[in-house]
Amino acid sequence: MKEKDKELELEKLRHTCSHVLAHAVRNLFPKVKLGMGPAIENGFYYDFDKKEGFDQEELKNIEKEMKRIIRRNLPLKKIEVSKEKAKEMLKGEKYKLELLEDLKGKITFYEQGDFKDLCKGPHLETTGDIIAFSLLKTSGAYWKGDSKNKMLQRIYGTAFFNKNEMDEYVLRMEEAERRDHRKIGKQLDWFSFHEEAPGNVFWHPKGSIIYNEVLKYWREIHEREDYQEVKTPIILNKKLWMSSGHWDNFKENMYFTKIDDTDFAVKPMNCPGGMLIYKSRLHSYREFPMRIAELGTCHRHELSGTLQGLFRVRMFTQDDAHIYCLPDQVKGEIKKIIKLVLEIYKTFGFPEGKIELSTMPKKHIGSLKVWKESEKILTEVLKEEKIDYELNPGDGAFYGPKIDFHVKDCLGRTWQCGTIQLDFSMPENFDLKYEAADGQKHRPIMLHRTVLGSIERFIGVLIENYAGKLPVWLNPTQVIVLTVTDRSKPFAKRVVGELKKNGIRVHLDDRAQSVPKKVRDSQLHKANYTLTIGDKEVETETLAIRTLDGNVKFNVKLSKFIDEILKEIKERKNYSK
């Protein structure tokens, strides 16, 4: 409860801050029109209609002006007026007037000195209660979040009740920057991006190890869950995409090519290819539920401004699966997938995920009735499984509603990874059938699902969650063996040989460098274990083992170390377990 109170106070503070920001901008730039200015997680923003963006100099002046307003200790007064009166008060403020249109009953304003803003509140009692605030950045933002509307200039800021909390926030942001997967990927030589192929990942040898370990685990667990893996072509005839509905709903994001005078498209999704496999023979209800999985590489021409490291790329591999089932199997299958997703996330050690139910988007295929039915099924499953979820209206796939699994990156931004989608349309479009117990042909129900979402995105999140210190089973550099003197080389080589024989990824550092130097390098390479071999170790045939957190254990028998690390790898142990 106390925590909640604090959040509420913080929201009041930040919301008041946004008013002070608007007040300051109004004072300095009288011609600028005001948009909206709410409190958000970690801060606040305000949108302004100004021709050019605010530059650093202007931002500094705005901060100064805000400080002046705070110092004047202006009380915030709530004013209630009729809609007519409000219209008069907002004369010339076209955005505010637009907001007013949607409001009913009494209209409330908040007033501080000579500045009034259309606002529900609540607010602090006076501007003087703002202790620590800072303007952070600017950006463009479409009015009312619609790209058809004009782009306004947004100023972001944050505020706290004391300076310490502000400093802590700044520190947190700096730490977040160090966790950035793009930075870590470059430092550790895991992957790179190149101008020659924007939005496409180049996996280096070490990155490929991570990638393949993820897939290895994925295949193991999917085999256990009775999935059958398939592989379908990347380039398929345009006609297929027209009948699947992708042409009408997705073509802006697709790549096309012409082969022998025929139009082809590069697949942005795997479903149509999967449909063709299904249709290649007749199916019986006895086969159901039939779980067909594909690690399918998709290409989507994402807008250039949306590309973001591994999180948002133009070529990515989905851990897709299509499940064909009978109506009375649907719920059970969805429940199974939810369990599977949660199990896999736990193995990877993801601390918090958010589950969302996304419903019918504006652009969609299929009838309203079918959509409502599908949404009802998904809602029921979530309720029956007692899963906390958020409703995300209008965010479903164009062919059906979905349950999404989101995980956080280092900056607290959430990314959709897993998804479960109910699809009544695709089976219709492709005229899928099965023979039922009654001897008649029926339409199967199809589920689309991913667990990791995109392997690329998932690894990106993984790296940030671990700040690059991957669990042993995933780490491309599991062990680094380093020598103290050349005298220890033969034994060090023997150790490396033994580890390699056991399939452990090990590197020998026998450079003529000091031990502290080599230890430092090993730590920077984020090897899980650093084995230092000196005279003592040679003599007793033991190891000195240093872990990633800097602890050192001496006198460990090689066989014991091998047993332990193999166990750790086999169990796919992560640090949160």
The nearer residue to RNA, 128 or 361, going by C-beta atoms, is 361
Choices 2-10, 67-75, 100-108, 148-156 (CB under 7 A): range interacting with RNA: 148-156
Q: Which of 324, 286, 334 is nearest to 444 (CA)?
A: 324
Q: What is the signed CA dihedral for 356, 360, 365, 368, rounded to 10 degrees? A: 130
Long-range contacts of 180-187 (CB under 8 A, 24+ apart): 180/309, 180/410, 180/464, 181/309, 181/310, 181/311, 181/409, 181/410, 181/459, 181/460, 181/461, 181/463, 181/464, 182/309, 182/310, 184/463, 184/464, 184/467, 184/468, 185/309, 185/310, 185/463, 187/468, 187/524
In angstroms, give the least distance from the CB of 314 to RNA: 6
**457 touching RNA, by CB under 7 A:** yes
Distance separating alpha carbons of residues 176 and 464, to the nearest angstrom: 8
Contact 59, 134 (CB under 8 A): no
Nearer to RNA, 54 or 473 (CB): 54
In this structure, are strands 479-483 and 529-533 parallel, antiparallel, or unpaired? parallel
Phi-psi region of 54 (alpha: psi -120 to 50; beta: other; left: phi over 0): beta
Coil vs helix vs strand at 430: coil
- Cα 486 versus chain centre, distance: 48
Number of residues in the chain: 577
Question: Are the CB atoms for 325 and 333 separated by under 8 Å?
Answer: yes
> Residue 287: which H helix or E strand, with range?
none
Query: In the complex with RNA, which residue's Cβ is closer, 27 or 523?
Result: 523
User: Which of 20, 184 has the CB closer to RNA?
Assistant: 184
- Binding of residue 30 to RNA (CB under 7 A): no
Active-site residue, 320 included:
yes
Q: Tell which positions 411-430 bind RNA, by CB under 7 A.
A: 411, 413, 415-417, 419
In the region spanning residues 546 to 565, those forming contacts with RNA, defined by CB under 7 A, are 546, 550, 552, 554
Q: Determine if 134 is a binding residue for RNA (CB under 7 A).
A: no
Please tell me which residue in 402, 406, 525, 526 is annotated as part of the active site.
402
Minimum Å distance from CB 523 to RNA? 4
Of 238-246, 257-265, 491-499, 530-538, which part binds RNA (CB under 7 A)?
530-538
The answer to whether the beta carbons of residues 557 and 537 sit under 8 Å apart is: no
Is 106 marked active-site?
no
Query: What beta strand segments (E) does 182-289 contain?
Result: 191-193, 201-203, 228-230, 235-237, 255-259, 262-266
Min separation Cβ 256 and RNA, Å:
17
Q: How far is the CB of 181 from RNA (least distance, A)?
A: 10
Among 19, 283, 312, 505, interactor with RNA by CB under 7 A = 312
Residue 444 has what DSSP assignment?
Answer: P
Which one, 243 or 253, has the nearer CB to RNA?
A: 253
Residues 94-123 that bind RNA (CB under 7 A): none
**Total residues in contact with RNA, by rule CB under 7 A:** 80
| Helix, coil or strand: residue 117 | strand
Q: Among residues 280, 304, 440, 559, which is the contact residue for RNA, using CB under 7 A?
A: 304
Binding region for RNA (CB under 7 A) out of 60-68, 96-104, 235-243, 449-457? 449-457
* 76 versus 417: smaller Cβ distance to RNA: 417
Distance CA 104, CA 93 (A): 19
Four-residue CA torsion sign, 550, 551, 554, 560: negative
Q: Is 341 in the site for RNA (CB under 7 A)?
A: no
Active-site residue, 300 included: yes
With residue 114 as reference, give the H or E element that holds it.
Answer: none
**Residues 366-405, interacting with RNA (CB under 7 A):** 395, 397, 404
Residue 36 contacts RNA per CB under 7 A: no
Q: Which stretch binds RNA (CB under 7 A): 107-115, 151-159, 166-174, 332-340?
A: 151-159
Determine contact, residues 446/432, Cβ cutoff 8 Å. yes
Q: Is 523 in the site for RNA (CB under 7 A)?
A: yes
Restricting to residues 260-289, which ones interact with RNA according to CB under 7 A? none
Site membership for RNA, residue 42 (CB under 7 A): no
Q: Does 153 bind RNA (CB under 7 A)?
A: yes
- Near RNA by CB under 7 A, which window of 51-59, 223-231, 422-430, 435-443? 51-59
3-class secondary-structure state, position 257: strand
- Please pick, from the candidates 151, 166, 467, 556, the single residue that binds RNA as defined by CB under 7 A: 151
Q: Does 307 bind RNA (CB under 7 A)?
A: yes
Q: Is the Cβ–Cβ distance between 181 and 463 less than 8 Å? A: yes
299: annotated active-site residue: no
Say which of 180, 319, 320, 509 is annotated catalytic.
Answer: 320
Which stretch in 104-112, 180-188, 288-296, 343-351 sits in contact with RNA by CB under 7 A?
A: 180-188
- Binders in 206-265 for RNA, by CB under 7 A: none
Is 449 near RNA (CB under 7 A)? no
Is 19 designated active site? no
For RNA, the binding residue among 3, 114, 174, 195 (CB under 7 A) is: 195
Judge whether 494 counts as a catalytic residue: no
507 in catalytic set: no
- Gap between the Cα atoms of 469 and 1, Å rounded: 36
- Catalytically active residues, by annotation: 271, 300, 318, 320, 322, 402, 448
